[in-house]
């Protein structure tokens, strides 16, 4: 039985921690406010951007999973100290640093996304996310830490409630058969990464020394447009067909006045204005995790959301 530390308990952090418990490991979860205990998981309240305290909490762990992320409006100010603390804890303790990343760092490209693409983002969120990995990678190459990054596209699936693409802004309306709105072109192919596959990839990579020192894409099902995803979800829910309406730039500008999240998403709207296709063939050539069969992804997502909505109305 090994000890693993998970930073953050959002959808990915929670799924990773619970998967580690299922596999018989001890798990310590670090969040700013802490949480009530649950079987197999020790919850610790700690500011993960404080290097000395974080290193003490990580001591003895085989790996530390960086699954926390600041709120989007605070990425530029909050990511650097958090990333530095994660690297310092990995260096002080020898734990493998397994970072959960995203695809912002590549910026707009006109081809399927592979790990060989340069991190050429020009927007502030893409630049800071690229810098987080480059810092860890440089320290790995210097032999000071052991680090790896696992990159995912937009999450969906059981437990994913935040964000607006296929979560809280879409699923409750879809379950009632009501129209849903989307950023960008609703017909553009888009990669959707299933949350349980994110956790399985993070856990697998943590134990694969040959994986360390570079980034990997989470195995992701073939790209489908927002419209196609809504059609599949509504068919499972038996509420379709559900209309999908793109939000105009004018409406987005107005909503952004009141919604910091929508305002911040302006930088990455290109991901929905054009094809945004994830290529995970490098991962699949080396490791065992594969994308969950698509029908199972859809079934589990709809069933989880149906139970959640029902519980909220009783």
CA 117, CA 109: separation in Å to the nearest integer? Answer: 9
Average pLDDT of the residues in 35-53: 94
Angle at 122 between CA 283 and CA 224, to 5 degrees: 45
CB 228, CB 45: distance < 8 Å? no
CA 167, CA 290: separation in Å to the nearest integer? Answer: 23
| Contacts of 128 by beta carbon, 8 Å cutoff, 6+ apart | 75, 76, 79, 80
Please say if the pLDDT value at position 112 is more than 70.
Answer: yes
Please say if the pLDDT value at position 314 is more than 90.
Answer: no
pLDDT tens string 130-188: 999 999 999 999 999 999 999 999 999 999 998 667 998 899 999 999 999 888 899 99
Pairing of strands 41-45, 63-66: unpaired
CATH 3.40.50.720 fits 3-154+192-217, yes or no: yes
CA 133, CA 214: separation in Å to the nearest integer? Answer: 9
Q: Which residue has the tokens 């409750």?
A: 172
Neighbours of 281 (CB within 10 A): 13
pLDDT tens string 4-32: 999 999 999 999 999 999 999 999 999 99
Q: Which two tokens stand for residue 19?
A: 């998967």
Q: What share of the chain has pLDDT > 90, as a percent?
A: 85
Q: What is the pTM of this model?
A: 0.95
Angle at 52 between CA 50 and CA 56, to 5 degrees: 115
Please say if the pLDDT value at position 252 is more than 80.
Answer: no
Q: Strand 63-66's sheet: what is its strand order?
A: 41-45, 26-31, 3-7, 63-66, 96-101, 147-151, 215-217
Mean of the per-residue pLDDT values of the chain: 94
The DSSP code sequence of 185-202 is: -TTS-B-EEEHHHHHHHH
Residue scoring higher pLDDT (265 or 92): 92
CA 274, CA 280: separation in Å to the nearest integer? Answer: 19
């Amino acid at each position: 039985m090994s000890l693993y530390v998970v930073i953050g308990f959002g959808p990915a952090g929670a799924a990773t921690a619970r998967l580690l418990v299922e596999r018989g490991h001890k798990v310590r979860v670090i969040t700013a406010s802490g949480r009530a205990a649950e079987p197999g998981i020790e919850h610790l309240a700690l500011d993960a951007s404080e290097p000395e305290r974080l290193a003490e909490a990580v001591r003895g762990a085989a790996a530390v999973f960086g699954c926390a992320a600041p709120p989007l409006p605070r990425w530029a100010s909050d990511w650097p100290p958090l990333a530095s603390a994660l690297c310092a804890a990995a260096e002080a303790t020898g734990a493998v640093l397994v970072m959960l990343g995203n695809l912002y760092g590549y910026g707009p490209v006109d081809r399927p996304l592979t790990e060989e693409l340069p991190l050429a983002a020009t927007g502030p969120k893409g630049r800071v996310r690229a810098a987080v990995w480059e810092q860890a990678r440089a320290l790995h190459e210097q032999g000071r830490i052991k680090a790896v990054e696992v990159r995912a596209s937009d999450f969906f699936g059981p437990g994913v409630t935040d964000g607006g693409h296929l979560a809280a802004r879409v699923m409750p309306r879809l379950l009632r058969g009501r129209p849903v709105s989307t950023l960008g072109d609703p017909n553009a192919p888009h990669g959707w990464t299933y949350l349980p596959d994110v956790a399985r990839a993070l856990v697998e990579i943590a134990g694969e020394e040959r994986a360390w020192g570079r980034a990997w894409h989470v195995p992701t099902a073939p790209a489908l447009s927002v419209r196609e995803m809504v059609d599949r979800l509504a068919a499972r829910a038996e509420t379709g067909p559900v209309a999908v309406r793109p939000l105009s730039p004018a409406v987005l500008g107005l909503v952004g006045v009141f919604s910091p999240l929508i305002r911040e998403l302006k930088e990455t709207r290109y991901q929905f204005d054009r094809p945004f296709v994830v290529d995970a063939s490098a991962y699949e050539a080396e490791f065992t995790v594969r994308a969950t069969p698509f029908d199972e992804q859809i079934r589990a997502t709809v069933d989880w959301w149906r139970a959640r909505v029902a519980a909220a109305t009783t």
